[in-house]
Amino acid sequence: MAKATFAAGCFWGVEAAFRQIPGVSSTRVGYTGGELKNPTYQQVCSDRTGHAEAVEVEYDPAKVKYDDLLQAFWENHDATQLNRQGPDSGTQYRSAIFYHSPEQEQAARKSKSELEKSGNFSRPIVTQIVPAVTFYEAEDYHQQYLEKRGLATCHIQ
């Protein structure tokens, strides 16, 4: 199994999107990229912790490629919105790829570069590509939030 971590706005819809991909064995939502240890949802929402709402994806590389996960990441949010997705704003809603290996970093940078050159965006892509750091699991009620409520999605396209 391998691990990938993505931030693309509110983590509920992002998690739901990744859970649908064959080869993804588990997901968990949480907070990463900031300074505060063991942050709570309320602290992260204050926009003062430096953390992003993120999804940690465990996947089987024999069944799904990291490039496929990157494609899902790009397709499930607006990577041109700085520190926001739709009505949600603040650094906790930033677009970021937290890589776990040099190979993931290279793949992420290549996919971002290809998208920038594609001409499909009228604004620059603002997605950060940074090393994965400590991932703090969010409170239980956030895990599989949409699935628990019988909802399929809430992300902005």
Q: What is the CATH number of the domain that holds 74?
A: 3.30.1060.10
Task: Domain of residue 35: give its range.
Answer: 2-148
In a domain, 153, yes or no: no
In a domain, 9, yes or no: yes
Catalytic residue among 4, 7, 10, 138: 10
The tens place of each residue's pLDDT in the chain, 157 residues long, gives 999 999 999 888 899 899 999 999 999 999 999 999 999 999 999 999 999 999 999 999 999 999 999 999 999 999 999 999 988 899 999 999 999 999 999 999 999 999 999 988 889 999 999 999 999 999 887 787 667 766 666 644 4
Identify the three-state secondary structure at position 1. coil
Question: Which pLDDT score is estimated for 141?
Answer: 76
In a domain, 154, yes or no: no
Q: Give how far the C-alpha of residue 79 lies from the chain's centroid of Cα atoms, to the nearest Å.
A: 11
Mapping DSSP onto H, E and C, the string for 2-47 reads: EEEEEEECCHHHHHHHHHCCCCEEEEEEEEECCCCCCCCHHHHHCC
In a domain, 52, yes or no: yes
In a domain, 8, yes or no: yes
In a domain, 88, yes or no: yes
Question: Which pLDDT score is estimated for 157?
Answer: 45
Question: Which pLDDT score is estimated for 67?
Answer: 98
Q: Between the CA of residue 62 and those of 22, 107, 118, 143, what are the distances in Å?
A: 11, 17, 29, 26
* CA dihedral for 140, 146, 149, 154, sign (positive or negative): positive
In a domain, 59, yes or no: yes
- The answer to whether residue 154 is catalytic is no
What are the b/e assignments for 7-43, b being 16+ CB within 10 Å? bbbbbbbbbbbbbebeebeebbbbbbbbeeeebebeb
In a domain, 129, yes or no: yes
Total domains in the fold of the chain: 1
